[in-house]
């Protein structure tokens, strides 16, 4: 007797529209519509935001309430960092008169001492401890102090406009600038070495080798990564009609990038992107209902993987509400926004993630089939151009492995795709040299 068995493929789609995981905890109410330029949290309870028009605001209860620090007003503060509970530094200045201001507090921000610098605009600051710190200028030099700002040394770089920098310890630091400029020091700035790099806008290094950058393109922004201290960069992600600020990573695999994206109604909407696999994949998070006016996220500060804060500034003069907002998350920003489709099915084919990944120069690609079948596996670059046919043959049932040798290819993101009767799947891999 012939028994006919029908295998039914069951597909279950779970539609989950996530609620806002970045919740608004403060809205600035003022006649001059103040925006917030940056946010910095020293601990889960104690944090600061810089209010672009006048002063610094502080919270001591995890963002439940905020109060202004009047002694910091009038300096147009743009960035802030605390090296201990009481000691902190901030930078500001006047763009028109090209006057830079460095502020220091030793009592938690309740009073500040300002030092003025002429013919310079400060772009960023990075302090390693209470005494050792660096300040980045828009010109061709970096200021360094080893005595808590009592005196400063100039470190000159061959550049015309420096934009972002980061130090991972007292000796190892990185600077990016316009015109494809990138610099590295391993001796505390006594010497700076120049490398070719993308149009880096923001930098965040998690150690001396691994770093992330937001990159300006003609009509888009990208996120790039290096694993050899800036010698080589490869593109991870590109988003058209958007602006991306500095990346913020809490470890080698988990990080965020914030900014804005231009919608079809010509209004900028807040944009939060997160990765949990070292930048290989990025997903968008929700910051709640978007306003009528153009809203950009100016800064992010995370205290570990779960608790974090966002600040906003407004990108145009349209709309009724232009005041800055502060958002908070207690779960790492939550899940991706929109509709998530999860397909649960009995499948005859399975394509595994290559291993190792990233790789140099070889990696193994494995796949599983339940019965003999004709299989094609092809390699593509990040532009979708076919580079190589890795396999085009009949494969036996069970697990199969192939080795891909990237010796002839440059560092970057690549894709491998399996095709067979009724099934196709593509995965991403990263080649680093």
Give me the percent of the chain exceeding a pLDDT of 70.
Answer: 87
For 38-70, write each residue's pLDDT tens digit.
Answer: 999 999 999 999 986 667 999 999 999 999 887
400 in any annotated domain: yes
Please check whether residues 295 and 366 belong to one and the same domain: no
pLDDT tens, residue by residue, 284-330:
998 877 765 677 899 999 999 999 999 988 765 454 456 788 999 99
Domain that holds residue 363: 349-431
Dihedral sign, Cα of residue 292, residue 73, residue 81, residue 119: positive
* Residue 76: C-alpha distances to residues 26, 297, 401 (Å): 20, 18, 59
pLDDT number for residue 18: 39
Distance CA(410)–CA(387), nearest Å, equals 12
Q: What is the pLDDT of residue 125?
A: 95
Per-residue pLDDT tens for 347-383? Answer: 457 788 888 889 999 999 988 877 777 888 999 988 7
CATH number assigned to the domain comprising residue 116: 2.130.10.10
| Res 4: pLDDT | 36
Phi, psi of 70 (to 5 degrees): -60, -30
Contacts of 135 (CB under 8 A, 6+ apart): 91, 100, 102, 122, 124, 125, 142, 143, 144, 152
Q: Are residues 394 and 286 located together in one domain of the fold? A: no
- Does residue 134 have a pLDDT over 90? yes
Task: Report the pLDDT value the prediction gives residue 423, as an integer from 0 to 100.
Answer: 73
Average pLDDT over residues 225-233: 88
Among 299, 329, 359, which residue terminates a domain? 329
Q: pLDDT: is 199 or 378 the higher one?
A: 378
Q: Report the pLDDT value the prediction gives residue 254, as an integer from 0 to 100.
A: 94
Give the dihedral of Cα atoms 336, 337, 338, 340; nearest 10 deg: 20
Q: Quick one: 268 and 233 in the same domain?
A: yes
Is residue 7 in a domain? Answer: no
Tens of pLDDT, residues 410-431: 998 999 988 886 677 888 999 9
pLDDT of residue 325: 87
Residue 6's pLDDT is 36
Q: Is residue 148 part of a domain?
A: yes
User: Cα 152 to the chain's mean position, in Å?
Assistant: 30
In CATH, what number is assigned to the domain containing residue 409? 2.60.40.2550
Query: Is the same domain home to 365 and 325?
Result: no
* 336 in a structural domain: no
pLDDT at 160: 67
| Residue 202, in any domain of the structure | yes
The model's confidence at residue 209, banded by pLDDT at 50, 70 and 90, is very high
* pLDDT average, residue stretch 79-89: 96
Domain count, the chain: 2
| pLDDT range class, residue 335, cuts 50, 70, 90 | confident
Residues 366 and 304 in one domain: no
Q: Are residues 47 and 136 in the same domain?
A: yes
The alpha carbon of residue 379 and the mean position of all alpha carbons in its chain are separated, in whole angstroms, by 28
Segment 194-199 shows an average pLDDT of 82
Same domain? For 314 and 409 the reply is no
pLDDT confidence of residue 219: 74
pLDDT at 384: 77
Supply the pLDDT for residue 17.
Answer: 36
pLDDT (0 to 100) of residue 322: 62
Report whether pLDDT(161) > 60.
Answer: yes
Q: What does the block give as tokens for 150?
A: 């009592």
**345 band by pLDDT with thresholds 50, 70 and 90:** very low
pLDDT value of residue 31: 57
Going by C-alpha positions, the residue among 165, 158, 151, 89 that lies closest to residue 123 is 165
Strand order in the sheet with 47-51: 36-41, 47-51, 56-59, 67-69
Residue 45 included in any domain? yes
Domain boundary among 329, 361, 389: 329
- Residue 233 within a domain: yes
In a domain, 10, yes or no: no
Residue 187 confidence (pLDDT): 96
Considering only residues 66 and 139, tell me which one the structure prediction assigns the higher pLDDT: 66
Q: CB-based contacts of 268: which residues, under 8 Å, 6+ apart?
A: 243, 260, 261, 262, 294, 295, 296, 315, 316
Same domain for 27 and 128, yes or no, is: yes
What is residue 90's predicted lDDT score, i.e. its pLDDT? Answer: 95
d(CA 34, CA 27): 10
Name the domain boundary from 329, 362, 395: 329
* 53 lies in the same domain as 193: yes
pLDDT at 95 over 80: no
Are 70 and 99 part of one and the same domain?
yes
Residues 413 and 322 occupy one common structural domain: no
Q: Is residue 206 domain-shared with residue 290, that is, in the same domain?
A: yes
Give the tens place of pLDDT for each residue, 252-263: 899 999 999 888
Phi–psi pair at 368, nearest 5 degrees = -125, 135
Across the chain, what does the average pLDDT equal? 83
């Amino acid at each position: 007797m012939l028994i006919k068995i029908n295998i039914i493929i069951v597909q279950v789609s779970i539609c989950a529209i996530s609620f806002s995981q970045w919740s608004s905890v403060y809205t600035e109410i003022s006649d001059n519509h103040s925006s917030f330029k940056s946010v910095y949290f020293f601990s889960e309870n104690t944090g600061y935001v810089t209010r672009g028009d006048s002063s610094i605001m502080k919270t001591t209860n995890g963002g439940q309430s905020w109060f202004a620090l009047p002694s910091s007003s009038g300096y147009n503060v743009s960035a802030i960092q605390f090296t201990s509970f009481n000691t902190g530094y901030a930078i500001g200045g006047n763009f028109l008169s090209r006057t830079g201001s460095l502020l220091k507090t030793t009592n938690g921000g309740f009073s500040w001492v300002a030092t003025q610098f002429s013919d310079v605009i400060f772009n960023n600051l990075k302090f390693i401890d209470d005494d050792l710190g660096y300040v980045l200028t828009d010109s061709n030099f970096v200021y360094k102090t080893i005595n808590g700002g009592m005196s400063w040394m100039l470190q000159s770089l061959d550049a015309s406009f420096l934009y972002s920098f980061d130090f991972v310890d007292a000796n190892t630091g990185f600077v990016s600038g316009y015109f494809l400029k990138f610099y590295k020091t391993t001796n505390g700035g006594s010497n700076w070495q120049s490398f070719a790099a993308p149009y880096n806008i923001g930098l965040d290094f998690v150690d001396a080798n691994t770093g992330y950058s937001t990159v300006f393109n003609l009509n888009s922004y990208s996120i790039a990564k290096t694993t050899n201290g800036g010698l080589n960069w490869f593109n991870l992600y590109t988003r058209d009609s958007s602006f991306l600020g500095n990346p913020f990573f809490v470890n080698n695999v988990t990080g965020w990038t914030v900014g804005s994206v231009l919608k079809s109604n010509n209004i900028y909407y807040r944009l939060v992107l997160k990765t949990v696999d070292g930048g290989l994949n990025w997903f968008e998070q929700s910051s709640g209902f978007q306003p009528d006016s153009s809203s950009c996220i100016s800064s992010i500060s995370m205290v570990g993987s779960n608790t974090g804060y966002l600040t906003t500034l407004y990108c145009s003069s349209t709309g009724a509400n232009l005041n800055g907002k502060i958002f908070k998350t207690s779960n790492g920003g939550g899940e991706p926004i929109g509709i998530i489709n999860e397909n649960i099915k009995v499948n005859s084919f399975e394509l595994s993630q290559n291993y190792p990944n990233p790789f140099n120069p070889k990696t193994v690609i494995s796949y599983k089939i339940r019965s003999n079948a004709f299989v094609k596996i092809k390699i593509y670059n990040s532009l979708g151009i076919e580079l190589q046919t890795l396999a085009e043959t009949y494969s036996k049932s069970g697990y199969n492995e192939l080795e891909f040798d990237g010796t002839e290819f440059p560092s970057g993101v690549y894709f491998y795709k399996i095709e067979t009767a009724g099934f196709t799947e593509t995965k991403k891999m990263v080649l680093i040299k």
